[in-house]
Chain A
Amino acid sequence: MGEFDNEVDAPRGATSREWEVFVREATADPLTHVGSVSAPSEDVAREQAASLFGRTAVALWLCPADETRRYQTEAATLGAGASGEEATMSVAEMQSETLRGEDG
């Protein structure tokens, strides 16, 4: 039996809040996770999800991704790793490298 010991807690949104979307296509159907939308507010998230799923769903549930806890039986699909920040230039380095092409 799985113990769901592995939590996937990496953020899912950067430009605005991310909202997990669940739909039910008919009242007899299970509620299904169908991805997420980026939206600054609940109202906008509802509008966006409705424009994508309104034609096929009878029920729509939204949950802020940052309030959703994700646990798995196995380790995270991509394995554990240090944050991508380690791999990226600092802002100062990036700016000093810009247009330096002629220096080679």
Chain B
Amino acid sequence: MISVSKLLCDLDAEGDGLRYDAADESTKRQIRDEKQRRPVVVWNVTKQCNLYCDHCYAAADTEIADGELSTAEGKALLDDLADYGAPVVLFSGGEPLVRNDLEELIAYANDVGVRPVLSTNGTLITAERAESLKAAGLKYAGVSVDGLPERNDDFRGLEGAFEGAVRGIENCLDAGLKTGLRYTITERNAADLEGVVDLLTDVGVDRFCFYHLDYGGRGTEIVDADLTPADRRTAVKRVCDMTREYHDDGEEIETLLVGNYADAAYLVEYAREHVGEAQARRVYEYLRVNGGDPTGERVADVDYQGNVHLTQFWQGYSLGNVRDRPFGDIWEDESNPLLRALRNRDDHLSGKCADCRYAGVCRGASRLRALTVEDDLFAPDPQCYLEDSEIEGPTPFGAGDEPMSAD
């Protein structure tokens, strides 16, 4: 995740320590004081979902899968994650709220010291459910909305899904739950982006996460509906401009970009052009500490049957299963040559990534998109939208290990 509001507008957030090792500078209470050493774990608690979204990476549908983890197994998994030191568990799906034991699992995660957060479509969040989630100790709910009403409902396969999600968000906010938006940008909904932010800001949402489409699950079927690199650049610029405009107007919204670390390089270039050289240097340094694309390192996924994946989007390949051995043993097992290569990907990236001056803050972006489109694990991400003139030349601001200083 790349925090646009932090990098361009200096908005402090509770993830600064986790993400940028910048807890000391932040005025907000921190999730962690040090940059994470263990992955944030997405746990798809069920395959079952009440909606049928075109871009669902988990290929969810109305039926439960055979062999989903039980309540007892789920708690054992949370013990396992706590023992390993996972800082955060993101309850996802399917739609996690179809599990009647969700609050029990959230409370358990809280008890064992793994911060519980939630990804949901929002349409099952009644006022009563929002209160029980809050009481269980949920720290954050991210609600997916992918466009203004007509477009969102078309994407999600249910008329009224937009209004249902907004009601769910209102119920969360009324219960005192920190709540944000998740928005996956494609060609079909890029035009709605600002309208959705305007509308949800009025509702009281102040955190907006914009996801790039990754090519997993049903996402592989709508690759053609993804933005072109040029349109992606325009959409990312719009997120940056919009963030600054809100902040200029005194509305301190938090905005984040997820799923394409070409954004990291773009943000440095954007800061240089629109904010100034000193800020560009700070942005670069934060992003260098952040470390680029997190696949197989700072993010992991456990699916509803206990299979461990490199990210939540990469469901077609599993490293192993938590019913066979503990998560930490699977994640640390570098006898697996794929895991080893991904963690040393700087040595393997090819094409324009091999000599890119921003390789240190991007690390090739999505390996899954490269694999899906180019059939080459280390080819450039087809959704890199940077200009040749931006990526050629020496590493920006020197080697990057020296302390920051303002120009």
Contact = CB atoms under 8 A, between A and B. Distances in A.
A40 to B, nearest CB: 11
Contacts of B317: 35-38, 48, 52
Given A83-B67, A85-B68, A88-B64, A12 B321 contact: yes
Nearest to A39: B316
Nearest to A89: B98
Contacts of B59: 15
B71 A52 contact: no
A78 B77 contact: yes
Interface in A38-57: 38-39, 48, 51-53, 55-57
Contact of B316 (A14, A23, A37): A37
Contacts of B98: 88-89, 94
A103 B129 CA distance: 11
A51 B375 contact: yes
Contacts of B99: 84, 87-89
A53 B338 contact: yes
Contacts of B100: 87-89
B371 A51 contact: yes
B65 interface: yes
Q: Of A10, A23, A91, which is in contact with the most chain B CB atoms at under 10 Å from its CB?
A: A10
A27 interface: no
Nearest to B104: A87
B326 interface: yes
Interface string B306-322: 11000000011111111
Contact of B325 (A57, A77, A103): A77
A100 interface: yes
Contact of A78 (B76, B161, B307): B76
Contact of B68 (A88, A101, A102): A88
A78 B80 CA distance: 9
Given A14-B304, A37-B317, A87-B71, A77 B326 contact: yes
A70 B324 CA distance: 8
Contacts of B46: 84, 88
B337 A84 contact: no
A104 B171 contact: yes
A69 B309 CA distance: 22
B59 to A, nearest CB: 5
Interface in B25-42: none
Nearest to A51: B375
B366 interface: no
A101 B167 contact: yes
B70 A8 contact: no
A94 B76 contact: no
Contacts of A36: 307, 317-318
Interface string A6-44: 001011111100100001010000001111111100000
Q: Of B80, B122, B126, B317, which is in contact with the most chain A CB atoms at under 10 Å from its CB?
A: B317
A79 interface: yes
A10 B338 contact: no
B373 to A, nearest CB: 12
A56 B378 CA distance: 13
Contacts of B160: 99
Nearest to A13: B305
Contact of A101 (B126, B316, B375): B126
14 contacts: A10-B321, A10-B323, A15-B59, A36-B317, A53-B337, A55-B341, A79-B76, A82-B70, A84-B99, A88-B98, A94-B62, A99-B161, A99-B163, A101-B123
Interface of B: 46-48, 50, 59, 62-74, 76-77, 80, 98-101, 122-128, 158, 160-161, 163-164, 167-168, 170-171, 217, 304-307, 315-326, 335-338, 341, 371, 375-377
